[in-house]
Structure 1
Amino acid sequence: MNVSSSAPSLERLSSGIPGLDMVLGGGFFRSGVYIIHGHPGSGKTILANQLCYRHVAAGGRAVYVTLLAESHARMLQHIRPLSFFDEKAIPDELSYISAFHDLEADGLKGLMGVLRREMRARNVSVLVLDGLVAAAEAAQTDRELKKFIHEVQTSAVFHGCTVFLLTSGGPQRVNAEHTMVDGLIELEDRLFDARSERAIQVRKFRGGGSLRGKHAFRISDDGLEVFPRIESMFKAPPDSPQPTPALSSGVPSLDALIAAGGIPANTATVVIGSTGTGKTTLCLNFLSRCTPQEPGMMFGFFEAPHRLRAKARAFGADLEALEASGALTLKWHSQGEHVLDELAHRLLTEVTERGIKRLAIDGMSGFFESSVFPERTSRFFSCLINELRRLGVSVLMTMETINVVGSEISTPFGVSGFVDNLLFLRFAETGGHVKRLITIIKMRDSDFQPGLHEFKIGPAGLSIAGMYSLDGDVIPSAQPMTGKAQ
């Protein structure tokens, strides 16, 4: 016998916490019961309060029940500086209740009576119980604790209330309730050498597909913000792009070395070279071709915007005019302790909101150094670049090598595998003089002219002088191009 169900799908409840709904696959389920656990200081109290205040700001009602926890006055002092705090919501939309004496006097039965009363009397749609550890200690057996969780679930469904149970420690410390609840959310704050990074993990989530693994989050004056792992969000390759004309690199003599007449559109190009070889100058040439219809962005880590403007001004590019017209955006991140996925999400947000088509990332090492798990780097960049391709962005990235003079080239983290085009800039010493050389190592979807080409940086920016021979002579670039598309 075939059995079909016409039951409606479960309704979602937004967490109100940036990035968390993406990890959950759309938010919590209404009337569900969820455990949020983590060691002291991991962010449980801030998360629960932020969830409550965002919920009441959207028109809901909430109650925050504490057991053996800090006093309500102390808790409010701690969260008052956070932007989500709204004193006007207390006590009508959001109430703080202590149920410790009820638990101490009548055990789990007394606690359950408080929870039912608050759900019914205040008509709340979100309830937080802070201190599940104390409730578990009051249970004489696992069966009694399971019975308590079952009663919470029954009341949550009856009153249409979503319940969050906060507990300290890791999930291995308690077992009975794990089989009962609809979801387990774990917070952690781990130390990696001298730095620490916070992470959230959905260990269990009934009824929906959450993003697996650990996802970084940050606590700031705005509360929690979660940054889902790039590899978990953008796993699928982009659709095959429609053929589009090549983009000028901003250097006509470099474009002449490429059969397509420029860098193939919607591709990722890495420019490798030691310090001073001209990587940033090439980025500025590339961005000088931005227009309001096809805007560009510099996403950098080492040179502040005022230095970039001055450098571009030296070869006749007016970045200020491009910025004023909306054709160009300069985003600079000073050296510090960045979160890898936070950088990626900030980048994608800017690209999406501004409709960026030309993107220069000046300093891939800014991403490399932000990763606490270096083994992620290749997968991270591969998925990030796939998403940028899907958005129709042409990317130019720079990466610094160690050797200042010489022909040795190495690409860490498998960079050559996930990019379409690869350019190598270097210095060569001959006859007491140092010259700049450029070599096209790889150019996907286009033939190119191989070999060593000398280039100069002058008042007109970067320009190719010609082929470079081992005896130091410069020979005009030969045609036709003999390199093959990769």
Structure 2
Amino acid sequence: MSDRRIEKLSTGIEGLDTILEGGVLRGGIYIVQGTPGAGKTILGNQLCFNHAARGGRALYVTLLAETHGRMLAHISQLSYFDETAIPDGVSYLSAFRILETEGLKGLTEALRREIRARQVDLLILDGLVSAEETAGTPREFKKFIHELQIQADLADCTMVLLTSAAADQGFASAEHTMVDGLIELRTRLRGRRSERELIVHKMRGGGFIRGLHSFQVTTDGIVVQPRIEALLATPSRPVATDGPMLSTGIPALDGLLGGGLHRHSTTLVMGPAGSGKSTIGQHFLGAAHEPGLYLSFDEDPKAIRFKAQSLNLPVAQLFDSGEVEIIWQPSTEGIFDEVCIRLLDQVRSRGVRRVFIDGINDFVHMTGEEDRIGPALTALANEFSALGATLVGTFELDFNGIVPGQPLTGLPILGLSPIAENIVAMRFAALGADIHRLIVALKARDNALRPQFRRYELTARGVEIEADSGQADLILQELVRQGGASPAPFSTAPFYPDRPSGDGT
């Protein structure tokens, strides 16, 4: 066996290579299975053109009745298509008639002959299900797969077999046990929205990232986003635990947090709409001349810049200079893993030191999997920390006001500690016709902290917090008096389970 047999062959698709830890084994044989429309043909052609771009030779063989002209007309709209690569780098062969007239034996001989004549080192066989239907018995089909394995090894030719499958088809067939790898492409409906997923069921000769991964079919072809919590299971570099304290841009909030934020830390700011969470984020981004990044799910960049200018916040100049950039990602059609990877790319390429994510709730809506958010955001926050970035994120609560005597009831505290070293809560307190705003730092890891509510206002200069707790104490006492409730000690105030108080919108 040649030494090249144990080398990895890149697919040329960055996210897929990441999942496969470098690619597939050269000279191996692989099955890509999926329902009609999952993207198998686009993937197969993409593998061919990527391989040709690196100097290889690829042969795309179809066992289907669709003409090459029709298929090429479809893929010619994709950016990876290169007409100049045909036929020297990428060639096509229709073996439909050969299979119909000569059966599997004739097909095997034709493939052997073409591989030798064209000197190809990548073969895509589209329509394996047709070969299976032609086989008289399961044994004959197994023999066909075995012959392909022999040819792949002798010719040092990697083979990818594309086949259709029913949505509920299992993976116990003989061919699945014989091949070196098995990848499934699938689509699923989440509400009225269709999402594409990729899963590697098997991969001999190396590790791979397990589980479901998102992918898209774009004008660039197949774009794969590895599952972020698996991709970042271990931070890319050691996490620094020291460094100077950072200001939030609001001196009184720094005081509530015991002196400010530790560099590399993560802070969660919770509160209802209109409480000033986004404004705190703008204060934070403008507190120092450092590369920053603002991820918004609701407000577009123009509205964000207008707000900063109207409040005369320092971040307005950083927006104009480009030192702080804005990513606007409407959550209606976004893919969670793609957004996370885009954030990481920005942090790495620009050396971002301050990150503000306005709307952790939108990540929940984007995935549709609440159980996934905690581990995924923990992994993302750990990687930001490893890269030297400090993160502030907002979490929207509903409009339920403070319960008299129990000012922390309804906050989704449990389970947030792995994500955030610091937690700040913003609450509304209604007294008669007046609505008061209160803020408290519930957690500040490694800082001396005495949690105390303070009253604050949203003014023409942004968030302004009172210097002491006097007014906040009077408001809370008046709530107790009007409600006829006995005040609960701060340390024993009840918390609800780790879930949003409302629907998070």
Question: TM-score, normalised to structure 1's length?
Answer: 0.91
Cα separation, partners in 2 of 1:413 and 1:142, compared to 1, 3 Å? farther
Cα separation, partners in 2 of 1:83 and 1:240, compared to 1, 3 Å? closer
Match for 1:471 among 455, 470, 474?
Answer: 474
Q: Give matches, 1:60-75, under 5 Å.
A: 60-75=56-71
Q: Secondary structure at the match of 1:255?
A: helix
- Measured against aligned partners, the alpha-carbon deviations of 1:232-274 in whole angstroms (never above 9, x if no partner) come to 1222367452411111001112212333x21111111110001
Q: Secondary structure at the match of 2:395?
A: strand
Q: Secondary structure at the match of 2:33?
A: strand
Amino acid at match of 1:208: G
Cα separation, partners in 2 of 1:51 and 1:412, compared to 1, 3 Å? farther
**Is 2:44 aligned against 1:41?**
no
Distance 2:445 2:476 in 1: 30
Q: Give matches, 1:205-220, under 5 Å.
A: 205-220=203-218
| Counterpart for residue 244 of structure 1 | 243
**Is 2:277 aligned against 1:274?**
no
Moved more, 149-158 or 8-17: 8-17
| Unaligned 5+ runs, structure 2 | 478-489, 492-505
| Counterpart for residue 391 of structure 1 | 387
Amino acid at match of 2:194: S
**Is 2:138 aligned against 1:142?**
yes
| Counterpart for residue 160 of structure 1 | 156
Amino acid at match of 2:247: S
Distance 2:200 2:108 in 1: 26
Match for 1:85 among 73, 81, 86?
Answer: 81
| Counterpart for residue 196 of structure 2 | 198
Distance 2:244 2:96 in 1: 70
Moved more, 405-414 or 55-64: 405-414
Distance 1:144 1:430 in 2: 82
Shift, 1:434, TM fit: 2.2
Contact 2:16/2:224, CA 8 A, preserved across alignment: yes
Contact 1:315/1:459, CA 8 A, preserved across alignment: yes
Contact 1:218/1:226, CA 8 A, preserved across alignment: yes
| Counterpart for residue 344 of structure 1 | 340
| Counterpart for residue 412 of structure 2 | 411
Cα separation, partners in 2 of 1:193 and 1:84, compared to 1, 3 Å? same
Amino acid at match of 1:218: Q
Contact 1:363/1:397, CA 8 A, preserved across alignment: yes
**Is 2:370 aligned against 1:371?**
no
Shift, 1:412, TM fit: 7.5
Distance 2:255 2:413 in 1: 29
- Percent of paired sites with the same residue: 44
Amino acid at match of 1:95: S
Amino acid at match of 1:206: R
- Measured against aligned partners, the alpha-carbon deviations of 1:296-346 in whole angstroms (never above 9, x if no partner) come to 110111111111111111222254531354421111112412112111111
Distance 2:245 2:302 in 1: 30
| Counterpart for residue 286 of structure 1 | 284
Distance 1:256 1:250 in 2: 11
| Counterpart for residue 122 of structure 1 | 118
| Counterpart for residue 257 of structure 1 | 256
Contact 1:127/1:164, CA 8 A, preserved across alignment: yes
Amino acid at match of 1:137: E
- Measured against aligned partners, the alpha-carbon deviations of 1:140-160 in whole angstroms (never above 9, x if no partner) come to 222222222122122112222
Amino acid at match of 1:49: N
Contact 2:184/2:198, CA 8 A, preserved across alignment: yes
| Counterpart for residue 477 of structure 1 | none
Amino acid at match of 1:385: A
Distance 1:136 1:216 in 2: 29
Contact 2:65/2:96, CA 8 A, preserved across alignment: no
Q: What is the count of residue pairs matched by the alignment?
A: 469
Shift, 1:132, TM fit: 0.7
Shift, 1:280, TM fit: 0.5
Contact 1:62/1:95, CA 8 A, preserved across alignment: yes
Amino acid at match of 2:297: F
Shift, 1:404, TM fit: 5.0
Cα separation, partners in 2 of 1:10 and 1:416, compared to 1, 3 Å? same
Cα separation, partners in 2 of 1:137 and 1:9, compared to 1, 3 Å? closer
| Counterpart for residue 16 of structure 1 | 12
| Counterpart for residue 189 of structure 1 | 187
Contact 2:256/2:452, CA 8 A, preserved across alignment: no
Distance 1:280 1:96 in 2: 55
Contact 2:28/2:158, CA 8 A, preserved across alignment: yes
Contact 2:455/2:472, CA 8 A, preserved across alignment: no
Contact 1:42/1:198, CA 8 A, preserved across alignment: yes
Q: Secondary structure at the match of 2:245?
A: coil
| Counterpart for residue 462 of structure 1 | 463
- Measured against aligned partners, the alpha-carbon deviations of 1:203-241 in whole angstroms (never above 9, x if no partner) come to 110001111111111111111111111121222367452
Amino acid at match of 2:305: R
Q: Secondary structure at the match of 2:48?
A: helix
Match for 1:105 among 88, 101, 104?
Answer: 101
| Counterpart for residue 21 of structure 2 | 25
Contact 1:377/1:413, CA 8 A, preserved across alignment: no
Match for 1:314 among 310, 323, 329?
Answer: 310
Contact 1:23/1:211, CA 8 A, preserved across alignment: yes
Q: Secondary structure at the match of 2:455?
A: strand
Contact 2:287/2:314, CA 8 A, preserved across alignment: no
Moved more, 279-288 or 58-67: 58-67
Distance 2:306 2:194 in 1: 37
Distance 2:4 2:141 in 1: 31
Q: Secondary structure at the match of 1:286?
A: helix
Distance 2:321 2:352 in 1: 14
Q: Give matches, 1:44-55, under 5 Å.
A: 44-55=40-51
Shift, 1:6, TM fit: 12
Distance 2:201 2:331 in 1: 34
**Is 2:423 aligned against 1:422?**
yes
Contact 1:357/1:392, CA 8 A, preserved across alignment: yes
| Counterpart for residue 301 of structure 2 | 305
Q: Secondary structure at the match of 2:325?
A: strand
Contact 1:127/1:163, CA 8 A, preserved across alignment: yes
Moved more, 332-341 or 185-194: 332-341
